[in-house]
């Protein structure tokens, strides 16, 4: 990935002159490095994932241990623009509801204000912010009022 | 009569006490958890089918404005002197400044399990059980500034970058738009790196814990944060007097966003109100 001096991936802002937010002078190189690590080192994730033995058939599912938690994801087939696949992801056996952004990235009910390139990265990020011993609720709260689906279609 | 929403850093001791007591009473009555449920339920993202009312959508601002009004009404039924204060995170930027004091929001979560142990919402006080959420923690959690990998709150120039955009929102009206006040304020960037969480989103991340998830309403600072976001809409309107909420009309049938966003004069679920009707609330409240 080519990084501009401001830290935004080059070309990431859609090309308009003010597409990137200002880079205040008080933000240091260290902040920049942290920021890039954070939401998404994830940019490298698809490439790295291909080398993980725990990722048997790329794109069809995963079963990994991360931070002492078992993360499993199963992709099933679908049809139509929003249904070329659907993911059912669990953390220690409890369902983790994932949502998909229009740019193709993923977010979860646990880490809801940031998105990641793959369902697995979104699930890892959710695990990273779960407190020790904390589990997902068996039923992740209320019914959905929008969209009307409980599984996310990819 | 119009009431005034004040900067949390300027509240008197009495104002803070009455706001906190009203929150605790709304919680005790069971009304508060309905707000948590509603925010969780409205979690639709823009890569999925269906209408988006609350996030990644033009109605992000009116939806949260109306949510705040509903909470404020519940608070004012308890104590008519109470209004929702706002947290100016461009000024109060440390983990010990307003509103993180023991007489208002309480402080950071402890390191071991991120449990908030100070202030009126600390678990041991017994008044703020977490019953509705995405995880099974029974207590309020925070990780201010993200201790394991620190980040900063958005700055005044970050906000100004959003405020100077003359368009309220632009097609395709989602989290991918690089122009438009709404998404620059909501804070969805191109999906990776620090650019992917700006302004509003970045503040949720900075507070961490409950505020990071769909059940963010469990942390009462949600309201102080969103009151400040709401104030930005008002500031943007003053700066761009001839601009208005967009889209003005629903996207056409052949538009991929048809049926997925709320136009200016369409009903904003779950309420019987339109974004247009929520653009000017000057008769209800103003900001000090």
The CATH number of the domain holding residue A79 is 3.30.1880.10
Q: Determine, for residues B52 and A113 on separate chains, whether the beta-carbon distance falls below 8 Å.
A: no
Has residue A147 got a pLDDT over 80? no
- CATH code of B201's domain: 1.10.1280.10
Is A144 domain-assigned? yes
Is A22 domain-assigned? no
Is A136 domain-assigned? yes
The total domain count for chain B is: 1
A118: which 2 tokens?
């793959």
Find the domain containing B102 and state its range.
3-287
- Tens of pLDDT, residues B49-62: 899 999 999 999 99
Residue (of B79, B16, B42) closest to A109 by Cα position: B42
Find the domain containing A108 and state its range.
53-153
Is A9 domain-assigned? no
Is A11 domain-assigned? no
Complete DSSP assignment for B166-229: S-S--TT-STT-SSSHHHHHHTB-SSSSGGGB-HHHHHHHHH-GGGGSTTGGGSTHHHHHHHHH
- Tens of pLDDT, residues B182-231: 999 999 998 666 667 899 999 999 999 999 999 999 999 999 999 999 99
Has residue A148 got a pLDDT over 80? no
Mutate to test the interface with A, among B35, B36, B48 (most CBs of A within 10 A): B48
The total domain count for chain A is: 1
User: Closest-CA residue in chain B for A27?
Assistant: B152
Residues forming beta bridges with residue A71, ordered by sequence position: A64, A91
Residues of chain A in contact with residue B117, where contact means CB-CB under 8 angstroms, are none
Q: How far apart are CA B107 and CA B101, in angstroms?
A: 6
Select the residue of B45, B155, B197 nearest A24 (Cβ to Cβ). Answer: B155
Complete DSSP assignment for B71-101: HHHHHHHH-TT----B--TTT--STTSTT-S
Q: How far apart are CA A70 and CA B277, in angstroms?
A: 48
User: Looking at this predicted complex, what is its ipTM?
Assistant: 0.93
Is A13 domain-assigned? no
- The answer to whether B38 contacts chain A (CB < 8 Å) is yes
Is A32 domain-assigned? no
**B251-257 contacts, C-beta under 8 A, 24 or more apart:** B251/B171, B251/B173, B255/B171, B256/B172, B257/B171, B257/B172, B257/B173, B257/B174
Q: Determine, for residues A21 and B196 on separate chains, whether the beta-carbon distance falls below 8 Å.
A: no
Mutate to test the interface with A, among B146, B193, B203 (most CBs of A within 10 A): B193
Select the residue of B187, B196, B212 nearest A112 (Cβ to Cβ). Answer: B212
Residue A49: pLDDT band (50, 70, 90) is very low
Is A31 domain-assigned? no
Has residue A119 got a pLDDT over 90? yes
Between positions 103 and 122 of B, the ones with CB within 8 A of A are 112-114
Residues of chain A in contact with residue B114, where contact means CB-CB under 8 angstroms, are 131
CA torsion through residues B21, B269, B177, B170, sign: negative
Select the residue of B40, B161, B196 nearest A22 (Cβ to Cβ). Answer: B161
Residues of chain B in contact with residue A105, where contact means CB-CB under 8 angstroms, are 47, 191-192
- Tens of pLDDT, residues B175-194: 999 999 999 999 999 866 66
pTM of the model: 0.86
- Tens of pLDDT, residues B13-34: 999 999 999 999 999 999 999 9
């Amino acid at each position: 990935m080519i990084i501009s001096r401001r830290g935004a991936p080059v070309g990431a802002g859609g090309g308009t002159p003010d597409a990137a937010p200002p880079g205040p002078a008080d933000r240091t190189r260290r902040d920049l490095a942290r920021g890039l690590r954070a939401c998404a080192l994830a940019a490298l994730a698809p490439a790295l994932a291909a080398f993980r033995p725990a990722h048997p058939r790329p794109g069809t599912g995963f079963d990994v241990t991360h931070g002492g938690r078992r993360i499993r994801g199963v992709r099933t087939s679908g049809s139509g623009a929003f249904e070329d696949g659907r993911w059912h992801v669990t953390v220690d056996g409890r369902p983790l509801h994932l949502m998909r952004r229009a740019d193709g990235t993923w977010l979860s009910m646990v880490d809801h204000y940031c998105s990641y390139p793959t369902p697995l990265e979104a699930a890892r990020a959710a695990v990273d912010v779960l407190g020790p011993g904390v589990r997902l609720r068996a039923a992740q709260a209320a019914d959905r009022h929008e969209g009307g689906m409980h599984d996310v279609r990819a | 009569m119009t009431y005034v929403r004040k900067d949390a850093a300027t509240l008197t001791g009495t104002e803070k006490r009455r706001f906190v007591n009203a929150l605790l009473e709304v919680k005790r009555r069971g009304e508060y958890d309905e707000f948590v449920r509603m925010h969780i339920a409205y979690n639709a993202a823009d890569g999925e089918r269906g209408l988006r009312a609350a996030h990644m959508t033009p109605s992000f601002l009116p939806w949260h404005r109306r949510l705040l009004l509903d909470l404020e009404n519940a608070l004012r039924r308890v104590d008519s002197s109470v209004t929702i204060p706002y947290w100016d995170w461009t000024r109060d930027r440390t983990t010990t400044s307003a509103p993180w004091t023991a007489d208002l929001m309480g402080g950071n979560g402890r390191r071991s399990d991120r449990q908030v142990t100070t202030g009126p919402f600390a678990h041991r006080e017994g008044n703020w059980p977490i019953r509705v959420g995405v995880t099974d923690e029974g207590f309020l959690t925070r990780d201010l500034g993200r201790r394991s990998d620190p980040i900063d709150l958005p700055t005044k120039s970050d906000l100004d970058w959003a405020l100077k955009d003359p368009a309220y929102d632009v097609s395709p009206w989602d989290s991918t738009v690089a122009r438009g006040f709404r998404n620059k304020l909501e804070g969805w960037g191109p999906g990776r790196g620090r650019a992917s969480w700006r302004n509003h989103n970045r503040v949720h991340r900075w507070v961490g814990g409950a505020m990071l998830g769909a059940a963010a309403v469990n942390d009462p600072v949600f309201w102080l944060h969103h009151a400040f976001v709401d104030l930005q809409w008002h500031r943007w309107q003053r700066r761009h007097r001839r601009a208005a909420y967009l889209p003005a009309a629903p996207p056409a049938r052949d538009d991929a966003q048809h049926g997925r966003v709320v136009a200016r004069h369409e009903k904003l679920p779950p309420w019987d109100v339109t974004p247009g009707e929520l653009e000017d609330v000057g008769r209800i409240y103003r900001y000090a």
